[in-house]
């Protein structure tokens, strides 16, 4: 069977962009998959949704937009003015590449035409290019691809590199297409993807081995599962109502969620993004080897940075552990980490995903050995639950999780079986600048620079940025409003008169070297516009400093016992 030309995948992307109807999208994808050779299925499925490798695969392209622009300049003769105009018109980098090559290409397309597998193998080579001079070698590899690419193929290449496909095909829709192409039940395809976390391998199994192959799919040690996700509840009363009073509450720790795989002395730890973070947590690895009561396990928990008294440290200190590559022993001593388990997915050969949460907890209790579990209660009244949530706050934690006692574990699904209730603080801040958006927010000022007023100097100092909280019509209205207040521009940032006041939700105030204010908000998002307030009435830097210090009534502070 001849190799599939890459242009077929690129043209499929064009077709997908022309419709938003789910059935039509699914049919287009299924027809495409049915025409592929078995070895082409895994890369084709991943590339279609903007992935080269499975999410758990450590390899990454690490190609900057600047590198792409360098390659495009080698193939075109566009003046700076024409380039700027094309970038202004294009909705994303892929569309800009197509327009540049269509309008200003200075060299003919080189033969032979690209094939799907050639492109995939080229991306593999790009991901494996490292070390001294790697940037130059990557640009040479990219140039080799783009010399042979038609404008629409170049568009697709850039979209894969940026992981911004913008054709409406997400993982869920691709799973439907795989099921349709293979003529198998969608639930079998979804289950296989939950266990393997690789759409490409699932597609290969479904289209070559059918339902029998999918039914034999099993969970694999050292292949991380996507974490089960939670919806947000406004308060405990809502959680009690949704779960009919049959729920457990757990402390929601302000740490990093980890999934731990153990087989004897082999232990690997994965982040919620499925990255292998084992090397950053040698103390946790040692604890699992010594204290976990089973030889084979996949368990979930929270890694929490603590001070010498065991009080939780602000989240930013834990991130130092994850980023540190050298002098790790000193960092481990400086920022100790506690492990608190909250779920068991696999124990000694038995997969527990379909067991009710209450049964999984009991299995975890029996298997955890000396490893801590998160603090937990099964409240019989709302008042008891509220007292538990207040205790979590007083002990420096983020909030509580409410979990239905009868709920199975559904990897990658954000369902109502788990609800999160965070302690959230609000401030009134001033927008002093905004960045032009890209992708879906192209043409809008959508990343807002949030500032607080220094009561001593009257200056407005930035304490964070956010693009979260507004609807599309609100983005449009805010863009018009900010452009009317424009003072200057630098690159993609528009600086404005400090007049627009917004109420901002956030989870924590952190020390920051990035901002002149010395502070930064964590998880900032806009709750609403404060049309009733002038900028001079917004919260002050002095207020933020006071709130920052008050956090340590409940949290630990590095260096303090």
Instruction: State residue 326's pLDDT score.
Output: 66
- How far is the C-alpha of 509 from the C-alpha of 141, rounded, in Å? 44
CA distances from 478 to 452, 467, 468 (A): 19, 12, 13
Predicted confidence (pLDDT) at residue 530 exceeds the cutoff of 90 = no
557 pLDDT higher than 70? no
Ramachandran assignment for 226, one of left (phi > 0), alpha (psi -120 to 50 degrees), beta (any other) = beta
Name the least confident of 116-120, 349-353, 357-361, 501-505.
501-505
Asked if 131 and 477 touch (Cβ cutoff 8 Å), the reply is: no
Calculate the alpha carbon distances from 216 to 131, 202, 289, 322, 451 in Å. Answer: 41, 12, 30, 36, 55
340-345 mean pLDDT: 98
- pLDDT above 90 covers a percentage of the chain that reads 66
Q: Of 220-229, 368-377, 414-423, give the lowest mean pLDDT range.
A: 414-423
- Residue 455 has a pLDDT of 84
Name the phi and psi angles at 223, rounded to 5.
-120, 95
> With contact defined as beta carbons under 8 Å apart, do 365 and 248 qualify?
no
Show the tokens assigned to 151: 């404008």
pLDDT(560) > 50: no
Query: Is the pLDDT assigned to residue 325 strictly greater than 70?
Result: no
Question: Of 201, 119, 114, nearest to 161 (Cα)?
Answer: 119
Q: What are phi and psi of 47, to 5 degrees?
A: -60, -35
Residue range 17-62, pLDDT digits in tens = 999 899 999 999 999 999 999 999 999 999 999 999 998 998 999 8
| 498-521 average pLDDT score | 89
Distance CA 44, CA 35 (A): 11
pLDDT > 70? residue 90: yes
**Per-residue tokens: 313:** 């440290």
Take residue 421 and report the two structure tokens written for it: 């209730």
Predicted confidence at residue 113, as pLDDT, reads: 97
- The pLDDT, as a whole number, for residue 506 is 87
Higher pLDDT, 235 or 441: 235
pLDDT, tens digit (0-9, with 9 covering 90-100), for 192-224 = 999 999 999 999 999 999 999 999 999 999 999
- pLDDT, one tens digit per residue, over 139-198 is 999 999 999 999 999 999 999 998 888 898 989 999 999 999 999 999 999 999 999 999
Supply 46's token pair.
């991943």
How confident is the model at residue 307, as a pLDDT? 83
Tell me the C-alpha to C-alpha distance, in Å, between residue 452 and each of 446, 458, 503: 19, 10, 12
* Residue 311 vs residue 324, higher pLDDT: 311
Tell me what the mean pLDDT of segment 76-90 comes to. Answer: 88
Task: Work out the average pLDDT over 496-515.
Answer: 89
Q: Give how far Cα 337 sits from Cα of 4, 255, 312, 399, 524, Å.
A: 50, 9, 9, 19, 26
- Taking residues 398-402, what's their average pLDDT? 91
Computed from CA positions of residues 389, 395, 398, 400, in that sequence, does the dihedral angle turn out positive or negative? negative
Phi, psi of 300 (to 5 degrees): -120, 150
Look at residues 249, 246, 175 and name the one whose alpha carbon lies nearest to residue 214.
175
Q: Which domains does the chain have, with CATH numbers?
A: 50-162 (1.10.3260.10), 229-422 (3.30.470.30), 425-552 (2.40.50.140)
363 vs 358: CA distance, rounded Å: 9
Q: How high does pLDDT run on average in the chain?
A: 91
CA–CA distance from 422 to each of 170, 245, 365 (Å)? Answer: 29, 19, 26
Which of 226-235, 247-256, 257-266 is predicted least confidently?
226-235
- Do residues 29 and 48 make contact, with C-beta atoms less than 8 angstroms apart? yes
Number of H helices, E strands in the chain: 20, 20
Residue 204 pLDDT: 98
What are the beta bridge partners of residue 299? 260, 344
464 C-beta neighbours (distance < 10 Å), count: 25
**Is the model's pLDDT at 559 over the cut of 70?**
no
- Specify the pLDDT at position 335: 84
- Give the pLDDT mean for 507-530: 88
Can you tell me the distance from the alpha carbon of 544 to that of 137, in angstroms, rounded to the nearest whole number? 48
The pLDDT value given to residue 286:
95
Q: Distance between CA atoms of 120 and 366, rounded to whole angstroms?
A: 46
- Average pLDDT in the 108-124 region? 97
Catalytic site includes residue 350: no
Q: Which stretch of 63-67, 335-339, 421-425, 460-464 has the lowest confidence by average pLDDT?
A: 421-425
At 426, is the secondary structure helix, strand, or coil? strand
Q: Which is the catalytic residue, given 138, 159, 226, 252?
A: 252
Tell me the percentage of the chain whose pLDDT exceeds 70. Answer: 97
Could you give the C-alpha distances from 31 to 44, 69, 119, 357, in angstroms and in order? 13, 34, 21, 40
**φ, ψ at 505 (rounded to 5°):** -90, 145
pLDDT computed for residue 531 by the predictor: 77
pLDDT of residue 561: 36
């Amino acid at each position: 069977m001849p190799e599939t030309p890459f242009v077929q995948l690129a043209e499929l992307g064009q077709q997908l962009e022309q419709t938003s109807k789910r059935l039509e999208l699914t049919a287009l994808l299924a027809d495409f998959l049915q025409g592929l050779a078995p070895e082409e299925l895994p890369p084709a499925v991943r590339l279609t949704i903007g992935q080269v490798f499975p999410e758990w695969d450590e390899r990454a392209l690490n190609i900057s937009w600047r590198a792409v622009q360098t390659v495009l300049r080698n193939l075109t003769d566009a003046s700076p003015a024409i380039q700027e105009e094309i970038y202004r018109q294009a909705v994303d980098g892929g569309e800009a590449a197509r327009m540049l090559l269509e309008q200003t290409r200075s060299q003919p397309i080189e033969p032979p035409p690209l094939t799907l597998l050639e492109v995939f193998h080229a991306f593999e080579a790009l991901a494996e290019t490292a070390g001294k001079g790697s940037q130059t070698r990557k640009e040479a590899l990219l140039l080799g691809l783009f010399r042979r690419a038609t404008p629409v193929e170049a568009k697709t290449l850039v979209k894969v590199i940026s992981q911004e496909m913008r054709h409406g095909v997400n993982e869920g829709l691709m799973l439907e297409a795989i099921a349709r192409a293979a003529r198998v039940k969608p639930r079998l395809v979804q289950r296989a993807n939950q266990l393997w976390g690789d759409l490409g391998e699932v597609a290969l199994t479904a289209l070559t081995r059918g339902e029998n192959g999918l039914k034999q799919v099993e969970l694999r040690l050292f292949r991380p599962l996507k974490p089960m996700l939670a919806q947000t509840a406004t308060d405990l009363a809502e959680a009690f109502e949704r779960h009919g009073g049959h729920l457990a509450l757990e402390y929601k720790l302000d740490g990093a969620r980890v999934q731990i795989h153990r087989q004897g002395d082999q232990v690997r730890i994965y982040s919620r993004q499925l990255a292998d973070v084992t090397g950053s947590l040698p103390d946790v690895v040692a604890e699992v080897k010594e204290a976990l009561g089973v030889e084979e396990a996949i368990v979930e928990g929270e890694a929490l940075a603590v001070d010498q008294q065991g009080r939780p440290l602000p989240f930013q200190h834990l991130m130092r552990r994850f980023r540190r590559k050298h002098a790790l022993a000193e960092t481990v001593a400086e920022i100790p980490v506690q492990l608190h388990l909250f779920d068991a997915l696999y124990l000694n050969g038995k997969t527990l995903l379909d067991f009710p949460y209450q049964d999984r907890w009991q299995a975890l209790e029996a298997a955890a050995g000396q490893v801590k579990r998160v603090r937990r209660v099964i409240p019989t009244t709302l008042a008891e639950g509220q007292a538990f949530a207040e205790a979590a706050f007083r002990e420096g934690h983020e909030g509580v999780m409410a979990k239905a006692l009868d709920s199975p574990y559904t990897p990658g699904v954000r369902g109502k079986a788990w609800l999160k209730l965070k302690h959230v603080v609000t401030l009134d801040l001033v927008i002093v600048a905004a960045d032009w958006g890209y992708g879906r927010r192209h043409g809008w000022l959508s990343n807002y620079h949030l500032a607080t007023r220094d009561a001593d100097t009257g200056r407005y100092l930035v304490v964070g940025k956010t693009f979260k909280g507004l609807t599309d019509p609100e983005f449009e209205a805010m863009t018009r409003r900010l452009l009317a207040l424009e003072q200057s521009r630098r690159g993609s940032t528009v600086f404005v008169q400090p007049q627009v006041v917004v109420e901002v939700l956030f989870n924590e105030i952190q020390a920051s070297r990035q901002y002149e204010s010395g502070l930064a908000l964590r998880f900032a998002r806009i709750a609403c516009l404060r049309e009733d307030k002038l900028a001079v009435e917004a919260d002050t830097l002095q207020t933020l400093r006071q709130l920052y210090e008050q956090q340590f009534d409940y949290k630990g502070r590095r260096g303090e016992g």
